[in-house]
Amino acid sequence: MKRLNLNELQSAIISGKTSCVQEVELSITKANEKSELNIFIEIFLDSAISKAKEVDAKFAAGTSGRLAGMIIGIKDNLCYKGHKVSASSKMLKDFESQFNSTVVQKLLDADAIILGRTGGDEFAMGSSSETSFYGPVKNPLNPLMSPGGSSGGSAAAVSSGICHAAIGSDTGGSIRQPAAFCGIYGVKPSYGRVSRHGVIAYASSFDQVGPLANSIEDLALITEVISGGDDFDTTCSKVAVPKMSYREKETKPLKLGYYKSMLDSPALDPEIREKFFETLSSLRTAGHNIKILEFPFFDVLIPIYYILTTAEASSNLARYDGIHVGHRTSSFSDIESLYKNSRSEGFGEEVKRRIMLGTFVLSSGYYDAFYGKAQKARRVVRDSTIKDLSGLDGIIGPTTPNTAFPLGQDYADPTVLYLEDMFTVQAPLSGIPAISIPIGTHSNGMPYGMQVMGSSFDEQSIFQIAKIIESLP
């Protein structure tokens, strides 16, 4: 069902067993067969085929790039010149990118083939890919289930075998949670590792772009290709990008930690807990060192995350006013009703909720009590996480408390869904990288993941640890 890893793919192309054009055709066939999963908002047929022809010629000439032949789906929040980009929102339904995001440019320069834009939650706000204007994305492993969110379409594109890899964005878990729910690999790089130039913003002190793929090797290579300083994004670090691919013969025992409070959480599914402890004992048997860590802040992670991200979102989304950019209403009588109606018609319910929440926590009288306090609390969480990581190679834990949830649940209280992010928000709150790898299948038939968090700008270690965990007997 899943597609070849990059190494296998490139060997198959070089030996003439397949070609880039044939691979694109296979992707299109699969996308058509699985159209009811609603993974893609749009397939970029013409540009995908013409890039495939170009890369086939490069293979023949021996000049192909590092990602040559890899068919990639991009989340619908990355600009690709001459193609539409909507953030899965009615607000940007007809918007066309004027330029390439740096990530897209780097992918194209490395000879990846961009197949199309994948669906997910509107403006990346959600955990189930149900808030999209284009309708929910379904999980390829069970179409009654959510693929996770917000990068649910990207995870589903890989899990269904339509693409070799995909790009998502992660603000509070939106790459790692869908990867876990769809049985694939996903990484959120360190804050500042990957340029956000041309990426539609949700919460700018959190957002990171990263890949989803079928193997750690592919994940590491794509991360390496899309990383690096960018004059168009001042928040993007110019720190050198090391070789991220894992070191094959690393024999040194690892020093790992895990949070007791995370594993003690009553919200954690018992089978996922059991599998975690099994993995832990295999790690110990293999000679690795495990430290039990205390983290007294689990209960406040979600409130801090949702106060800060909604505040940032309310500011980032102020630009969609129906005048400068975005959907414009046809019913208005004055400037105020033009703004009001454009925004009311253009945004969905969850986005509106977050804009209102964010505006509230930033409003005078409440700023100090909510936003200011959450900023301070974030610093405490970050400092404590960094301290926990010092002397360790990484911190491990389950990616999510549960497996994929059914589509179409009636969330009378939206915070029920917010709580599902409890294990994934710590990394973006702290700016550190984190990966999710598939670790098991639940008796309910759905997969779940193991998360590895590492120190800032040390993606190599999390790839390395993930590889060692995956290779445990």
Which of 59, 191, 202, 371: binder of ligand GLN (CB under 6 A)?
202
Residue nearest to ligand GLN (CB): 174
Q: At what angle do helices 298-316 and 349-362 cross, to 10 degrees?
A: 100
Contact at 8 Å (CB) between 53 and 93?
no
Q: Is 125 in the site for ligand GLN (CB under 6 A)?
A: yes
The stretch near ligand GLN (CB under 6 A) out of 171-179, 215-223, 292-300, 458-466 is 171-179
- Token pair listed for 300: 């406040």
Please name the residue that has the structure tokens 């589903």: 156
Of 267, 227, 262, 222, nearest to 245 (Cα)?
A: 222
Helices (DSSP H) in 110-186: which residue ranges? 152-159, 176-182
Which of 47, 127, 208, 314: binder of ligand GLN (CB under 6 A)?
127
Task: Give least dist CB 208 to ligand GLN, A.
Answer: 9
Which of 19, 88, 150, 403: binder of ligand GLN (CB under 6 A)?
150
Catalytic residue among 47, 88, 146, 150: 150
Task: Give least dist CB 125 to ligand GLN, A.
Answer: 5
Q: Is 172 in the site for ligand GLN (CB under 6 A)?
A: yes
- Helix (H/G/I), strand (E/B), else coil: 401: coil
Distance CA 133, CA 154 (A): 16
Those residues whose C-beta lies under 8 Å from the C-beta of residue 469, and which sit 6 or more positions away, are: 279, 283, 396, 437, 439, 450, 452
CA angle 348, 350, 353 (to 5 degrees): 110
Task: Give least dist CB 404 to ligand GLN, A.
Answer: 14
Output the CA–CA distances (angstroms, integers) from residue 264 to 145, 268, 273, 290, 291, in the order listed: 26, 8, 9, 17, 15
Q: Is 174 in the site for ligand GLN (CB under 6 A)?
A: yes
Catalytic residue among 159, 160, 174, 455: 174
CA atoms within 13 A on the CB side of 254: 28
Is 75 one of the annotated active-site residues of the chain? yes
Contact at 8 Å (CB) between 52 and 20?
yes
Distance CA 174, CA 210 (A): 10
Of 257 and 431, the one with the shorter C-beta distance to ligand GLN is 431
Contact at 8 Å (CB) between 424 and 181?
no
Distance CA 184, CA 152 (A): 12
Of 10 and 131, the one with the shorter C-beta distance to ligand GLN is 131
Residues constituting the chain: 473
Measured from the Cβ of residue 298, the count of other Cβ atoms closer than 10 Å reads 17
Q: Is 126 in the site for ligand GLN (CB under 6 A)?
A: yes
Task: Give least dist CB 66 to ligand GLN, A.
Answer: 27
Which of 23, 56, 122, 170: binder of ligand GLN (CB under 6 A)?
170
Distance CA 296, CA 262 (A): 10
413-432 mask for ligand GLN (x: CB under 6 A)? --------x-----------
Task: Give least dist CB 440 to ligand GLN, A.
Answer: 22
Which value, in Å, is the radius of gyration of the alpha carbons in the chain? 21
Of 421 and 458, the one with the shorter C-beta distance to ligand GLN is 421
Of 186 and 326, the one with the shorter C-beta distance to ligand GLN is 186
Which of 171, 223, 279, 314: binder of ligand GLN (CB under 6 A)?
171
Of 172 and 322, the one with the shorter C-beta distance to ligand GLN is 172
Please, which residues bridge with residue 205 across strands? none
Is 174 one of the annotated active-site residues of the chain? yes
Q: Is 181 in the site for ligand GLN (CB under 6 A)?
A: no
Phi, psi at residue 131, to the nearest 5°?
-90, 5
Using CB atoms within 10 Å of the CB of residue 51, give its burial: 0 to 12 exposed, 13 to 18 middle, 19+ buried: buried
Q: Is 124 in the site for ligand GLN (CB under 6 A)?
A: yes
The stretch near ligand GLN (CB under 6 A) out of 22-30, 32-40, 97-105, 165-173 is 165-173
Task: Give least dist CB 131 to ligand GLN, A.
Answer: 9
365-404 mask for ligand GLN (x: CB under 6 A)? ----------------------------------------
Q: Pick out residues in 296-315 that bind ligand GLN (CB under 6 A).
A: 309
The stretch near ligand GLN (CB under 6 A) out of 164-172, 191-199, 320-328, 355-363 is 164-172
Of 292 and 416, the one with the shorter C-beta distance to ligand GLN is 416
Using CB atoms within 10 Å of the CB of residue 225, give its burial: 0 to 12 exposed, 13 to 18 middle, 19+ buried: buried
Interacting residue ranges for ligand GLN, rule: CB under 6 A = 124-127, 150, 170-174, 202, 309, 421
Catalytic residue annotation = 75, 150, 174
